[in-house]
């Protein structure tokens, strides 16, 4: 199980502006923090932080982990205060449904501050925030279904809907101005104004639909054109700032709350103001809901830095407590934990000291929980169960890529190509294995795919040459390249063509960004030949389309245009002297291990390619026998 202190280091680091600042807040060495977070990522099998613009930023897996980890830390803090409270305290449960996207921004930080203030002022009220728009990791601390007799209330936090009339129970907790955001050097004395930014490029991340509509109306009203609406998750703002370094982001200010990865970011106010409103609704307001809404509103306005997480109780102590509470004997619990009884008793004493009182009353035939013990038991069971789910293999796979894996693939001539069909087959099979998995495919040539993998824009990529300095897995697929021409031009006699003869023809080839071109160039250099194409075309469908119009040929694996060859429109001439073969690999970042769905996709693709090659070989053997 992942210890609460480790989760506290992680959450504090995400909310701080740097590891150094987080280590200072936690009062530990930076090396200790870095080692702990690296070990956490390895234990869960995920990449928690990526490097961009000389800084680190939390990945999608980190955001997923933070949403799963923070309720456990909230429960530990509240449990200690609840147990230490004097008198007969009846537990109350306040569910906060948050209909927003989780971004580690200002709203999530304010929620935590409001929860902390509620815990001090109302130690009988357990505040349970649930991010309703984020379903890729199950909520692990909901207690309403398990505890009877709770006094429950509910508050909903959501964007204001201008199309609906406000109810008397709706309170505006944040009037958030829209701003332009861009990264500038720390030594910049004067930031550009809004008018200057509008003369350049403007981009909007993938915000909630009401916000996108609000932004679009603003641009239309002020006749602002050329704005690009992205598919980038708003939690990935550090990466988006670097990917669109020549543009200004158009976002609500609260999204840009200072945190890891958002250093040297300048916010520029609009010439014509625009405000996003965040509201709190309660179907049945009461003193408890009203108090929380007031605390949340103050926290959203304060813009204070988040406090460091400091859990006092360890998961080991919680585990031992749960064992004792279940079997009611310290000796039996020690045997169950496979430790000595004195060692378990020592941990129990430390736990009782942390919560401010005895949790068990010693009897001749065992122990019985005290009032404080019964209070603590509710939360101890919940925290241990949540921690186990966090470390479970199926949820670790969810953490590894959140709801999706991003795959880079080579460009295809058309939808009938050999490679694109094998990848499609693999995608269908992996989706059947992981029904909740979202697959994203992005097409680019070899060099671009390598860059995307290094920068973390894609998780794995299928490439056609062995790229240096990149971890790679061979797909076991090898296919010779061929000169492809249209039959009407009769550029070559039937059969193979020597490389020396091929380069005498008019060639339409992709640029050096493509692995095919690199393979040709390397083969030519080895024979002191020089390739000089008359046209360079990186759009493969266009290159094939030109073959019917001009007396030129291109170079491809014959399987890429198998249908056109079979129909007789195109002719394939295998290249010989030398034979040049395309070998396929999967590359990935050396900073992480592959997630279970990624490994599954690679294995399925390798099998599909080998099955197709075996079938092709059988077909060729049969044709030779007939001939």
Taking only the tens place, the pLDDT of each residue in 365-400 is 889 999 899 889 989 998 998 888 776 644 554 555
- Distance between CA 493 and CA 234 in Å, rounded? 57
- Distance between CA 556 and CA 554 in Å, rounded? 7
Characterize 261-284 residue by residue with b for buried, 16 or more Cβ atoms within 10 angstroms of its Cβ, and e for exposed.
Answer: bbbebbebebeeebebbbbbbbee
For residue 87, the model assigns a pLDDT of: 66
- Distance between CA 322 and CA 338 in Å, rounded? 14
- Distance between CA 261 and CA 237 in Å, rounded? 8
- Distance between CA 174 and CA 176 in Å, rounded? 6
Domain 315-393 CATH assignment equals 3.20.20.210: no
For residue 167, the model assigns a pLDDT of: 53
For residue 305, the model assigns a pLDDT of: 67
- Distance between CA 395 and CA 438 in Å, rounded? 15
Residue 351: which of 321, 379, 331 has the closest Cα?
321
Higher pLDDT, 111 or 457: 111
- CATH fold, domain 404-621, is D-Maltodextrin-Binding Protein; domain 2 (3.40.190)
Alpha helices in 96-255 (DSSP H): 106-121, 194-198, 209-221, 237-243
pLDDT, tens digit (0-9, with 9 covering 90-100), for 477-507: 888 999 999 999 999 999 999 999 999 999 9
Quick one: how far is CA 155 from the chain centroid? 28
- Distance between CA 428 and CA 230 in Å, rounded? 26
Torsion of CA 612, 617, 623, 627, to 10 degrees: 160
Three-state SS string over 365-425 comes to CEEEECHHHHHHHHHHHHHHHHHHHHHCHHHHHHHHHCCEEEEEECCCCCCCCHHHHHHHH
pLDDT band at 624 (very low <50, low <70, confident <90, very high): very low
pLDDT band at 9 (very low <50, low <70, confident <90, very high): very high
- Give the pair of three-digit tokens for residue 76: 């530990």
Yes or no: say if 140 and 381 are a contact pair by the CB < 8 Å rule: no
Q: Kindly tell me if the per-residue pLDDT of 13 is higher than 50.
A: yes
Expressed in angstroms, the distance from the first to the final Cα of the chain is: 65
Percent of the chain topping pLDDT 70: 89
For residue 467, the model assigns a pLDDT of: 63
Characterize 513-528 residue by residue with b for buried, 16 or more Cβ atoms within 10 angstroms of its Cβ, and e for exposed.
Answer: ebbbbbbbeebbeeee
Percent of the chain topping pLDDT 90: 51
CA angle 378, 384, 386 (to 5 degrees): 100
| DSSP calls for 122-147 | -TTEEEEEEETT--SS------TTT-
- Distance between CA 43 and CA 10 in Å, rounded? 13
CA angle 174, 19, 351 (to 5 degrees): 85
Residue 555: which of 506, 489, 490, 513 has the closest Cα?
506
Higher pLDDT, 598 or 149: 598
Residue 266: its H or E element? strand 265-269
For residue 392, the model assigns a pLDDT of: 60
Higher pLDDT, 612 or 394: 612
For residue 577, the model assigns a pLDDT of: 92
- Distance between CA 468 and CA 547 in Å, rounded? 34
> Phi and psi (nearest 5°) for 350?
-65, -40
Yes or no: say if 346 and 307 are a contact pair by the CB < 8 Å rule: no
Q: Kindly tell me if the per-residue pLDDT of 344 is higher than 50.
A: yes
Q: Where are the domains of the chain?
A: 86-312, 315-393, 404-621
For residue 21, the model assigns a pLDDT of: 93
Mean pLDDT, the chain, rounded, equals: 86
Most confident of the ranges 95-104, 174-183, 382-391, 402-411: 174-183
Yes or no: say if 161 and 210 are a contact pair by the CB < 8 Å rule: yes
Yes or no: say if 217 and 178 are a contact pair by the CB < 8 Å rule: no
Yes or no: say if 62 and 13 are a contact pair by the CB < 8 Å rule: no
What is the pTM (predicted TM-score) of this model? 0.70
Yes or no: say if 340 and 334 are a contact pair by the CB < 8 Å rule: yes
pLDDT, tens digit (0-9, with 9 covering 90-100), for 279-289: 999 888 999 99
| Bridge partners for 275 per DSSP | 177
- Distance between CA 381 and CA 367 in Å, rounded? 18
Q: Stretch 308-335: mean pLDDT, rounded? A: 93
Q: Stretch 83-102: mean pLDDT, rounded? A: 84
- For strand 92-98 and strand 170-183, is the pairing parallel, antiparallel, or unpaired? unpaired
Q: Which residue has the tokens 């977070």?
A: 37
pLDDT, tens digit (0-9, with 9 covering 90-100), for 532-590: 999 999 988 999 999 999 999 999 999 999 999 999 999 999 999 999 998 899 998 76
**CA within 13 Å, CB half, 482:** 20
Of 47-56, 113-122, 332-341, 348-357, the one with minimum mean pLDDT is 47-56
Q: Kindly tell me if the per-residue pLDDT of 228 is higher than 50.
A: yes
pLDDT, tens digit (0-9, with 9 covering 90-100), for 136-178: 444 544 444 455 567 889 999 999 875 554 555 789 999 999 9
pLDDT band at 623 (very low <50, low <70, confident <90, very high): very low
Q: Kindly tell me if the per-residue pLDDT of 620 is higher than 50.
A: no
pLDDT band at 466 (very low <50, low <70, confident <90, very high): low
- For strand 201-204 and strand 460-463, is the pairing parallel, antiparallel, or unpaired? unpaired
Fold agreement (86-312, 404-621): yes
Q: Kindly tell me if the per-residue pLDDT of 625 is higher than 70.
A: no
For residue 469, the model assigns a pLDDT of: 66
Q: Stretch 7-30: mean pLDDT, rounded? A: 94
Residue 403: which of 433, 432, 429, 435 has the closest Cα?
435
- Give the pair of three-digit tokens for residue 423: 């990848």
Q: Kindly tell me if the per-residue pLDDT of 472 is higher than 70.
A: yes
Q: Stretch 419-436: mean pLDDT, rounded? A: 88
What is the rounded radius of gyration, in angstroms, for the C-alpha atoms of the chain?
30
Q: Specify the CATH architecture of the domain 86-312.
A: 3-Layer(aba) Sandwich (3.40)
For residue 105, the model assigns a pLDDT of: 86
For residue 413, the model assigns a pLDDT of: 82
């Amino acid at each position: 199980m992942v210890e609460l202190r480790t989760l506290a280091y992680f959450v504090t680091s995400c909310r701080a502006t740097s590891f150094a600042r987080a280590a200072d807040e936690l009062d530990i060495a930076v090396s200790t923090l870095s080692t702990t977070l690296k070990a956490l990522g390895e234990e869960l099998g995920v990449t928690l932080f990526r490097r961009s613009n000389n800084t680190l930023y939390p990945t999608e897996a980190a955001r997923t982990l933070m949403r799963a980890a923070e309720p456990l830390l909230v429960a530990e803090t509240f449990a200690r205060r609840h147990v230490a409270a004097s008198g007969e305290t009846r537990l109350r449960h306040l569910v906060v449904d948050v209909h927003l996207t989780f971004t580690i921004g200002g709203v999530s930080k304010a929620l935590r501050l409001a929860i902390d203030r509620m815990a001090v002022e109302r130690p009988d009220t357990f505040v349970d925030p649930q991010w309703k728009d984020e379903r890729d990791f199950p909520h692990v601390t909901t207690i309403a279904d398990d505890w009877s007799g709770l006094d429950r209330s509910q508050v909903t936090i959501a964007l204001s809907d201008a199309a609906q009339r406000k109810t008397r129970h709706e309170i505006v907790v944040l009037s958030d101005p829209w701003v332009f955001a861009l990264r500038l050097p720390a030594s910049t004395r004067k930031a550009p104004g809004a008018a200057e930014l509008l003369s350049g490029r403007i981009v909007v991340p993938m915000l909630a639909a009401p916000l996108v509509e609000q932004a679009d109306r603003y641009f239309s009203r002020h006749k602002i054109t050329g704005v690009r609406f992205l598919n980038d998750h708003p939690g990935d703002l550090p990466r988006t700032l670097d990917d669109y370094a020549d543009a200004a982001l158009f976002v609500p200010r609260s999204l840009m709350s200072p945190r890891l990865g958002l250093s040297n970011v300048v916010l520029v106010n609009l010439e014509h103001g625009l405000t996003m409103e965040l509201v709190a609704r309660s179907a049945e307001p009461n003193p408890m809901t009203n108090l929380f809404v007031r605390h949340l509103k103050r926290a959203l306005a304060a813009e204070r830095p988040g406090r460091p997480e400091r859990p006092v109780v360890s998961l080991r102590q919680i585990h031992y407590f749960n064992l004792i509470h279940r079997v009611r004997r310290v000796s039996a619990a020690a045997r169950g934990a496979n430790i000595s009884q004195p060692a378990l008793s020592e941990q129990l004493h430390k736990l009782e000291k942390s919560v401010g009182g005895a949790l068990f009353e010693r009897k001749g035939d065992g122990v019985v929980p005290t009032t404080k013990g019964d209070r603590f038991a509710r939360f101890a069971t919940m925290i241990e169960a949540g921690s186990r789910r966090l470390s479970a293999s199926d949820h670790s796979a969810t953490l590894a890529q959140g709801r999706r894996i991003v795959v880079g693939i080579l460009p295809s001539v058309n939808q009938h190509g050999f490679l694109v069909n094998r990848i499609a087959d693999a995608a269908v099979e992996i989706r059947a294995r992981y029904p909740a998995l979202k697959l994203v495919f992005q097409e680019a040539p070899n060099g671009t795919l390598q860059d995307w993998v290094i920068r973390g824009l894609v998780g794995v990529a299928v490439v056609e040459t062995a790229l240096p300095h990149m971890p790679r897995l061979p797909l076991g697929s090898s296919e010779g390249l061929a000169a492809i021409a249209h039959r009407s031009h009769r550029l070559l006699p039937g059969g193979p063509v020597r490389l020396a003869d091929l380069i005498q023809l008019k060639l339409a080839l992709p640029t050096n960004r493509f692995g095919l071109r690199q393979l040709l160039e390397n083969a030519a250099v080895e024979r002191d030949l020089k390739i000089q194409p008359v046209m360079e075309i990186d759009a493969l469908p266009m290159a094939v389309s030109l073959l019917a119009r001009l007396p030129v040929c291109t170079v491809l694996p014959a399987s890429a245009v198998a249908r056109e060859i079979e129909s007789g429109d195109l002719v394939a001439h295998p290249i010989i002297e030398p034979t040049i073969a395309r070998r396929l690999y999967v590359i990935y970042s050396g900073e992480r291990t592959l997630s279970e769905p990624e490994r599954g996709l690679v294995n399925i693709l390798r099998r599909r390619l080998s099955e197709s090659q075996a079938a092709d070989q059988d077909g060729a053997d049969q044709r030779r026998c007939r001939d």
